[in-house]
């Protein structure tokens, strides 16, 4: 699917400009502008669900409600469970100067994420993707968090199933282009 990516937020700015705020009054990323349907949409999981339904028929958006729910379960889990633990580490190690870091909070975040990695590893013991037999919405939601956590200079407990899944992701051109960027 062709797209234009405009980097926004953090060092890129843009997300506090009047034009951006007119499209997303939250001033946060991501933001999707679909010229084909004249839709403006924010919130990561809403964007993934929309793109899967609109453009991913028979690939990302499956008709079987049980199979689709499997991926959506992981989308919600990533947002509600993995994201908060990830945020402590990302903000603490990447976006906070060393002299201002809360090392106890960072250590607690690392411990929490290591436990979540164990849960992810167990989930992948009998299927190649979080969405089941095929790459899907659950994988899209989890991937950026795992990428960031694996690329902030920490040593994690080996998790062979999670490592296999991550290797599969790195073979996907879109993942390499959009996600595998410097962690900021």
Q: What is the CATH number of domain 65-179?
A: 1.20.1050.10
Average pLDDT for runs of 10 along the chain of length 184: 79 88 92 95 95 90 89 96 97 96 97 98 97 94 98 97 98 94 88
End-to-end CA distance of the chain: 27
Q: Could you give the dihedral angle defined by the CA atoms of residues 89, 95, 98 and 99, in that order, rounded to the nearest 10 degrees?
A: -110
Q: Is the domain 10-55 a CATH 3.90.1210.10 member?
A: no
Q: Residue 7's pLDDT is what? A: 79
- CA distances from residue 89 to 101, 151, 173 in whole angstroms, order as listed: 10, 11, 27
- C-alpha count within 13 angstroms, C-beta hemisphere, residue 131: 21
Measured CA to CA, the distance from residue 117 to residue 101 in angstroms comes to 24
pTM of the model: 0.90
Q: Residue 21's pLDDT is what? A: 93
Q: Could you give the dihedral angle defined by the CA atoms of residues 131, 135, 139 and 141, in that order, rounded to the nearest 10 degrees?
A: -100
- CA distances from residue 97 to 50, 64, 90, 103 in whole angstroms, order as listed: 37, 48, 12, 12
The structural domains of the chain, with segments of one domain joined by +, span 10-55, 65-179
Cβ atoms of 45 and 138 within 8 Å: the answer is no
Q: Residue 123's pLDDT is what? A: 98
Q: Residue 52's pLDDT is what? A: 94
Q: Residue 184's pLDDT is what? A: 84
3-class SS at 43? coil
46: left (phi over 0), alpha (psi -120 to 50) or beta: alpha
Measured CA to CA, the distance from residue 27 to residue 20 in angstroms comes to 7
Q: Residue 58's pLDDT is what? A: 79
């Amino acid at each position: 699917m062709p797209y234009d990516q405009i980097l926004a937020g953090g060092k890129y700015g843009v997300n506090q400009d009047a034009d951006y705020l007119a499209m997303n009054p939250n001033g946060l990323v991501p933001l999707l502008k679909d010229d084909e349907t004249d839709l403006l949409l924010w919130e990561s999981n809403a964007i993934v669900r929309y793109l899967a339904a609109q453009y991913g028929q028979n690939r990302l958006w499956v008709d079987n409600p049980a199979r689709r729910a499997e991926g959506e379960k992981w989308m919600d889990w990533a947002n509600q469970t993995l994201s908060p633990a990830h945020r402590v580490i990302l903000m603490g190690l990447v976006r906070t100067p060393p002299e201002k870091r809360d090392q106890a909070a960072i250590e607690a975040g690392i411990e929490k994420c290591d436990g979540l990695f164990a849960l992810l590893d167990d989930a992948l013991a009998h299927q190649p993707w979080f969405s089941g037999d095929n790459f899907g919405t659950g994988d899209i939601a989890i991937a950026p968090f795992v990428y960031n956590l694996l690329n902030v200079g920490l040593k994690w407990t080996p998790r062979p199933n999670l490592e296999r899944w991550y290797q599969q992701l790195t073979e996907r051109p879109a993942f390499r282009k959009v996600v595998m960027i410097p962690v900021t």
